[in-house]
Amino acid sequence: MCGIVGYFRKVDSEGPIGEVMLRMITALGCRGPDSTGLALYGGKRRSGAVVRVKLADHTESSRQATAILNALAGMSEIRTSAVDDGVLRVELGNGAAATAVERAVLRSAPGSEVFSIGRRLDLVKRVGTAADLDASFHIRGFRGTHAIGHTRLATESKVDISHSQPFWAHGRPDLATVHNGHITNYVKLRDLYETRGHVFYTHNDSEIIPAYLGEQIDRGATLEQALHRSTADLDGTFSYLVATAEELGLAKDGFSAKPLLMAETDEAVVVATEEIAIVAACGRDVHAAELPAREVRVWSR
């Protein structure tokens, strides 16, 4: 099953995104009781970046966090840092390259995993429900412009924080995805990307999607072109959402095997696996409709 949700404010001002997203993923909690996650986008582009790192070992986490902060201090001013539930959040003062930051983190703390780097993006996820997610990361008060979210029912790979969604496109700041479905040519694609140097951190087939989109965009495709190509290159069942600093996009497989509904208000575009989440976000008077097979949409500001 799994549930995915997306919310994109049409006006370029911040709104109560954290609160709206919590309502939506709570509504889809029964579709994905294993884990919950959100990629939240703030309204102001930071001069630096927010980095989220899963520390390798809880007992060693403070030592690891110190090692990572020491390594990053050599690259950038560190504005703030905190550890919540074994996940380090660092706000860098200036924009070091994402690949260099990720490399420095992994060298200073072997076994850790970079969940996200973004100028607008902050990515939170954990095993458990939407209420658990808010208890750990205090996202209810988050104000921003858009977000995507996921509730997971694991079918193919294990239940832990690393295998939870959203997934970030390593090396590409701000690009994150949430996926409902199963990519059946995942092993083949993963082998291909690994020969090109891409590192995969999990055995979740959904991790292929940000890798695929990141590579298409690196080759010069727009997000919309990359989404269109994915409906032919990705095999299996999927409805997925992608967000960047300025955009929200979606793609659906050619059989419409997985649900995805859309609704639009004066204020926002809302997409979700079930109407129940759209009602939770916008109330009961909004017209929501299932999107057709092979649908691709992109909203940007």
Partner 1 sequence: MVAVASRLTVDCRGQSIREVNRAIREAVAAGERSIRVLYPEARHNLAVALLAPVEIEIEGSVGYYCGGMGDGPRITISGSAGWGLAECLMDGQVICRGSAGNGAAASIRGGRVVIHGNAAARAAISLKGGTVIIGGSTGYMSGFMMQKGTIVVCGDAAEGLGDSMYAGEIFVGGRIAGLGNDAVEQPMTAEDIVRLEDLLEEYALPGDARRFRKICTGGRLHNFNKHEFDMWRAAL
| Residues contributing to the site for partner 1 (CB under 8 A) | 254-256, 259, 261, 274-276, 278-279, 284, 287-293
AA letter at 289 = A
Whole-angstrom CA distances from 296 to 9, 168, 227, 270, 300 are 19, 20, 6, 15, 14
Q: Is 202 helix (H, G, I), strand (E, B) or coil?
A: coil
2 included as an active-site residue: yes
Which is nearer to partner 1, 169 or 280 (by Cβ)?
A: 280
Least CB distance from residue 162 to partner 1, whole Å? 31
The DSSP secondary-structure symbol of 298 reads E
Least CB distance from residue 71 to partner 1, whole Å? 48
Q: Is 39 helix (H, G, I), strand (E, B) or coil?
A: strand
Q: Is beta strand 247-252 parallel, antiparallel or unpaired with respect to 236-243?
A: antiparallel
Which is nearer to partner 1, 185 or 256 (by Cβ)?
A: 256
Which is nearer to partner 1, 114 or 250 (by Cβ)?
A: 250
Give the whole-angstrom CA distance, residue 120 versus residue 39: 10
The DSSP secondary-structure symbol of 144 reads B
**Which one of 1, 2, 151, 229 is the catalytic residue?**
2
Question: Pick from 62, 92, 57, 96: which is nearest to 77 by CA?
Answer: 92
Give the whole-angstrom CA distance, residue 15 versus residue 21: 11
Which is nearer to partner 1, 65 or 262 (by Cβ)?
A: 262
User: In 70-200, where do the E strands start and end?
Assistant: 78-84, 87-92, 113-118, 121-127, 146-152, 167-168, 176-183
Least CB distance from residue 287 to partner 1, whole Å? 7
First to last CA, the chain: 31
AA letter at 184 = T
Residue length of the chain: 301
Which is nearer to partner 1, 234 or 279 (by Cβ)?
A: 279
Least CB distance from residue 22 to partner 1, whole Å? 17
Least CB distance from residue 257 to partner 1, whole Å? 9
Whole-angstrom CA distances from 33 to 84, 130, 206, 291, 299 are 21, 9, 17, 25, 29
The torsion defined by the Cα of 154, 141, 168 and 97, in degrees rounded to 10, comes to: -160
Which is nearer to partner 1, 78 or 276 (by Cβ)?
A: 276
Least CB distance from residue 28 to partner 1, whole Å? 11
Which residues are known to be catalytic?
2
